[in-house]
Amino acid sequence: MSGVLKGIRVLDFGRYIAGPYCAALLAEHGADVIRIEKREGSEDRFVAPITETQDGALFMQMNRNKRGMTLNPMVPEGQEIVRKLVATADVVVANLPPQTLQSMNLDYDSLRAVKPDIILTTASAYGRGGPYSDRVGFDGIGQVMCGSVYMTGEEAGPPYRAQVAWVDFGTALHCAFGTMMALEARRQTGKGQIVEGALLATAVTLGNALLIEQAVIAPNRVPTGNRGQTAAPVDIFQTRDGWILVQVIGDPLYRRWAKLMGEELWLTDPRFKDDISRGDHGAVISERMSRWCKDRTTEEAIDILGKAKIPSGPVLKPQQTLDDPHIEKVGFFQKVEYPGMARPAPIAKAPVWLSETPGGIRHRPPTLGEHTDEIMVELGYGSGDISALREQKVI
């Protein structure tokens, strides 16, 4: 299937994750996404290099299903190419600072002067209208400013940010959602619009419950390592040969857990009367769970807890994740070849499945400038023009 977004053209001027992954999600469902990068390759192409030409792991994930061209949009000839591209496009994705957008003529006023119904999807670090709006930032800025990093780690130790860029990916998801809403609005009204995301906005949204609780009852929570604070047992426990996570939330799960532990008296203990009380006394409950886990292997513990319908899972190293039989069987990854790569890359498909109009990874990410000539011909440039622009270092 070609995808429900067939016929939609997206220009991806994005960098790293928030913009490029938004565009990748649109490409997954059939949009013609053109990634436009610097002539020498944009810096996000080379994060965690895995090929002979130093193309990186992040690039492989962000840019599947896209065509790629190189361009210098800061010179007059490059600006003319940008205008011609915009005239053919439905969406421009650019998670770049406002001043950069203006210098590249990718601000909304410049875009709609070329294509009145264009949709501009952009993301910033902080969002517009505040004292930090002109600052630049990455995923970690959102993590540390939303309360999440403070709550990660031990009270007496240093805080820890997550290695996974959840703020960036969350922003990309929100931007993709907003872009789809803008496309539907354009279908109804004929008008384009700006779709804006912000890393800090994403971070405070995903951590909103913690902030609501603080605003309303001010518990002034402090970090407790892996142990949850609003239910128990919620913690990571050591087994004879590894670690597992156990999450018991709600009375039905707690009753099953207490019976499994042989602690039926705890079902009437006022310390453990509800989730929040169990969270307040989580250290006691975690200690009991720890004693149970230390006598069992990870496989044994997961098997017993699974049969008791108690949520649990092993703490896996990256290679163990790749080798996990469930992940392999369900097919979360698609193996994709790429020039100069020693073996196929396991690229994660968009983790949402549509029964009638599924998306998919149709082709590998582009090599540097792979489709430049093809796209220039589509814009009306002849071979001589293309050669001249290449000589002038415009493309």
Q: Give me the pLDDT at residue 1, please.
A: 58
> Domain ends where: 270, 290, 314?
314
Q: Is residue 217 part of a domain?
A: no
Q: Is residue 283 domain-shared with residue 385, that is, in the same domain? A: no
Inter-residue contact 133 to 193 (CB < 8 Å):
no
| CATH (domain of 279) | 3.30.1540.10
Q: Is residue 154 domain-shared with residue 274, that is, in the same domain? A: no
Q: Is residue 202 domain-shared with residue 104, that is, in the same domain? A: yes
Q: Is residue 218 part of a domain?
A: no
Determine what percent of the chain is predicted with pLDDT higher than 70.
Answer: 100
Structural domain of 263? 234-238+243-314
Q: Is residue 365 part of a domain?
A: yes
Structurally, how many domains does the chain consist of?
Answer: 2
**Is the confidence at residue 56, as pLDDT, over 90?**
yes
- Which pLDDT band, with edges at 50, 70 and 90, does 160 fall under? very high
Q: Is residue 256 domain-shared with residue 286, that is, in the same domain? A: yes
Q: Is residue 220 part of a domain?
A: no
**Is the confidence at residue 205, as pLDDT, over 80?**
yes
Q: Is residue 70 domain-shared with residue 99, that is, in the same domain? A: yes
Q: Is residue 133 domain-shared with residue 276, that is, in the same domain? A: no
Q: Give me the pLDDT at residue 248, please.
A: 98
**For the segment 91-139, what is each residue's pLDDT rounded down to a tens digit?**
999 998 888 999 999 999 999 999 999 999 999 999 999 999 999 999 9
Q: Is residue 37 domain-shared with residue 171, that is, in the same domain? A: yes
**For the segment 133-158, what is each residue's pLDDT rounded down to a tens digit?**
999 999 999 999 999 999 998 998 89
Q: Is residue 352 part of a domain?
A: yes
b/e map 343-372, b = 16+ CB within 10 Å: eebbbebbeeeeeeeebebeebbbbbbbbb
